[in-house]
A and B are shown apart, each in its own frame.
Chain A
Amino acid sequence: MEQDFRRSMGWLHTWAGVVLGSILFAVFWMGTLSVFDSEIDSWMEPATRLPAATSPLPLETFRPSLNDAIAAKAAFWNVIMPDDRQAVVHVHYRTRQKFITREFDPVTGKELPNSGTLGATGFIFPFHYTLEIGLMNLGEWLVGLASMAMLALCVTGVIIHRKLFAEFFTFRPTKKPRRMLLDLHNMAGVLGLPFHIILTFSGLVILSTTYFPGSVKAVYPNPRGYFFEVNGLTFLPVKPGKAGASVASLDKAASYVRNVWGGAEPHTILVINPGTTTSRMAFFRESDRQVIVDRDVISFEGPTGKNFSRSPAPHPIIRAERFLSGVHLIQFHHWALRWLYFILGLGSCVLIGTGFLFWLETRRKTQESTFGFRVVEGLASGSVTGIIIATLVFFVANRLLFPNANLFGQDRATLEIGAFYFAWLATFLHGWIRPHRMWIEQSATIGVLAALAALLNWITTGDHPLRTLFHRYLWPVAGMDVVLLVGAALALLTTIRLSRRTRVPTPLNVPFGERL
């Protein structure tokens, strides 16, 4: 009975892993990169590599962009103030046609030229939870399915692990590759288990209303009501008003808000329906010294700047929900934790990658020529090393394309994304065509591309690691370059070791009679 249970759990572990491993790797890889999204942004947008301002600019500096938003009949307009991860001021608004992002120098208040890239916050982070498949939220549902599979994989993995405690610390690099892969898989899985489970679970909780709309519909007449209530944004839903009204002084409201908070600064300033009689302005307090996403929002009537309202203190259940989202979204500023998240995220990638490799290694002798094996092999190469190559191509394209590049009527940002998908597709094909050399060749490609990206950053911007390390405001760039260079070194080292192993025939493969 128990044996039977274990076998069925093993079956589930194997097949859920093989079928959804590609999506899981993509989600975990992009999530790991999103840990440093602002830092990657400043690498990809050299114009934003600016020293931090000593004092915040007056909010009225951004009035011209607010007027633009009003003229474009924007549904909202917001300013995100600089913080210690991000030096520039971001202004966003949504017009009828599109979402507009503008960046401003934090000292002079001058607008920076259009960066021509989506960067990490515009591409890598959304990819993490939507896979960039917008059709009917299909991407989000696939991520949800993969996340549920991840939870099931964690539980079944613990169940089928024969010696969880006896082999808790076991890693035998000298054994056969298959044994070593399993050790590595177990190590990444068991020792990183809290991370895998908590991050997967909190990710699901963040998107819970997408996955279970029924629970909201059961008690809310209008499902959007839950969104506003749980996020403390009950001031947001406003009736459409007449156009032609102005927005009162933002600075006056801000100084009032600072008084209420005892000196704390607003981090985001939002105006809903700007320029209409029912517009509202809202100030979100900075909450980067705590894990919990603490939405302390103060809002006013837009045209008058009066009738103040403040979001209520959340109930413990809501606090628990926001703690979980906070753990996942890492909006707090804690550099040590950020690096730990990054390393643990890479650990999750190792877990998924070694899972794939172990599946292939255990079947290589018996099924190497079967169709199914070849499919999984191509899938594994494209979804493990392939997405890493595609990401690096994205970075290289970012440094190679001219500021106003335009090809086939596509703008620069689209071309970068195109390069990403083109490279990704190529790696799948490569894995399919050259099954015996793919790991060596793809890992060599990773090494070369990563080094190239760091080199191109130096050539195109003059910011080489020796310079960036000695300027505090360039540390994000330095960090990115150092990670690229370390990654390049590791990938090239792996290539050398892999090619050495394939060249020397292992004595075990030689039949006994022929040894002498």
Chain B
Amino acid sequence: MVTVMIYTAFGLILFVAFALLALTQFPHRRATKTPQLLPGAALKARLLAGLLLVGVLIMAIWREGGGFGFLLWGSLLSLSACAVSLILGWWPHLLALLARLMLSLNSRHTTVRLDVKG
């Protein structure tokens, strides 16, 4: 049971990481009806996503050993990225909350509300 929860957690973290990456892109922000990020914030979001991806790899290898950990990470990577794509395609509003949260990455000095284009 613990194992199930840990694997689910790995999957969820990867899902969040990919969602962060996707939500730095204009079409997906438009789909979630949130304003665009500033370039600096997008970079921060991507760095955070990268950290999460690497973090799960390290945790998976630490828990499962080199072989299993790497395979588990690699296959969860594909699945969670697919999950992000499908959710953005069918129910983008589910990711609206995360997209709005990401706005706080816009640094305070230059908070400019950009209108949603198109």
Q: Footprint of B on A, CB under 8 Å?
A: 166, 168-173, 183, 187-188, 191-192, 194-195, 198, 290-292, 323, 326-327, 332, 334, 336-337, 340-341, 343-344, 347
In the assembled complex, which residues on chain B have CB atoms less than 8 Å from the CB atom of A166? 25
Q: Is the CB of A192 within 8 A of B68?
A: no
Could you name 16 residue pairs across A and B whose Cβ atoms are closer than 8 Å? Answer: A169-B21, A169-B22, A169-B85, A169-B88, A183-B89, A187-B82, A192-B82, A194-B77, A195-B74, A332-B68, A334-B68, A337-B71, A337-B72, A337-B75, A340-B76, A344-B75
Q: Is the CB of B72 within 8 A of A169?
A: no
A169-B18, A169-B28 known; A191 vs B67 contact (CB < 8 Å): no
In the assembled complex, which residues on chain B have CB atoms less than 8 Å from the CB atom of A347? 78, 82
B79 within 8 A of A: yes
Q: Please name the residue on chain A nearest to B28 by beta carbon.
A: A169
- B1-48, CB < 8 A from A: 3, 7, 18, 21-22, 25, 27-28
B86 within 8 A of A: yes
Distance (whole angstroms) from the CB of A486 to the closest CB of chain B? 16
Q: Is the CB of B81 within 8 A of A169?
A: yes
Which residue of the partner chain, among B68, B79, B84, contacts A169 with CB atoms under 8 Å? B84
In the assembled complex, which residues on chain A have CB atoms less than 8 Å from the CB atom of B82? 187-188, 191-192, 347
In the assembled complex, which residues on chain A have CB atoms less than 8 Å from the CB atom of B7? 336
Q: Is the CB of A340 within 8 A of B79?
A: yes
Chain A binding surface, main DSSP class = helix
Q: Is the CB of B78 within 8 A of A191?
A: yes
Q: Is the CB of B68 within 8 A of A168?
A: no
Distance (whole angstroms) from the CB of B61 to the closest CB of chain A? 12
Q: Please name the residue on chain A nearest to B70 by beta carbon.
A: A291
Q: Please name the residue on chain B nearest to A339 by beta carbon.
A: B75
Q: Please name the residue on chain B nearest to A174 by beta carbon.
A: B89
Known contacts A168-B81, A337-B68, A344-B79; 9 further A-B pairs (Cβ under 8 A): A169-B88, A170-B27, A171-B85, A188-B82, A191-B85, A192-B78, A290-B68, A323-B67, A343-B79
Distance (whole angstroms) from the CB of B88 to the closest CB of chain A? 6
Distance (whole angstroms) from the CB of A295 to the closest CB of chain B? 16
Q: In the complex the two chains form, what is the Cα distance from A405 to B50 in whole Å?
A: 59
Interface residues on B, range: 20 to 34
Chain B binding surface, main DSSP class = helix
Q: In the complex the two chains form, what is the Cα distance from A241 to B6 in whole Å?
A: 56
Q: In the complex the two chains form, what is the Cα distance from A173 to B86 in whole Å?
A: 9
B62 within 8 A of A: no
Q: Is the CB of B72 within 8 A of A340?
A: yes
Bitwise, B78-111 to A at CB < 8 A (1) or not (0) is 1101101110111000000000000000000000
B65 within 8 A of A: yes
Q: Is the CB of B72 within 8 A of A290?
A: no
Distance (whole angstroms) from the CB of B71 to the closest CB of chain A? 6
In the assembled complex, which residues on chain B have CB atoms less than 8 Å from the CB atom of A332? 68
Q: In the complex the two chains form, what is the Cα distance from A169 to B49 in whole Å?
A: 15
Q: In the complex the two chains form, what is the Cα distance from A341 to B78 in whole Å?
A: 11
Chain B CB within 10 A, most for which of A183, A188, A191 = A191
In the assembled complex, which residues on chain B have CB atoms less than 8 Å from the CB atom of A168? 21-22, 25, 81
Q: Please name the residue on chain A nearest to B8 by beta carbon.
A: A336
Chain B CB within 10 A, most for which of A171, A173, A183, A323 = A171
Q: In the complex the two chains form, what is the Cα distance from A344 to B75 in whole Å?
A: 7
Cβ-closest 7 pairs across A and B? A291-B67, A171-B89, A340-B75, A169-B22, A171-B85, A191-B81, A169-B85
Q: In the complex the two chains form, what is the Cα distance from A336 to B74 in whole Å?
A: 13
Q: Is the CB of B18 within 8 A of A290?
A: no
Q: In the complex the two chains form, what is the Cα distance from A166 to B25 in whole Å?
A: 7
Q: Is the CB of B78 within 8 A of A194?
A: yes
Q: In the complex the two chains form, what is the Cα distance from A195 to B71 in whole Å?
A: 10
Q: In the complex the two chains form, what is the Cα distance from A171 to B22 in whole Å?
A: 12
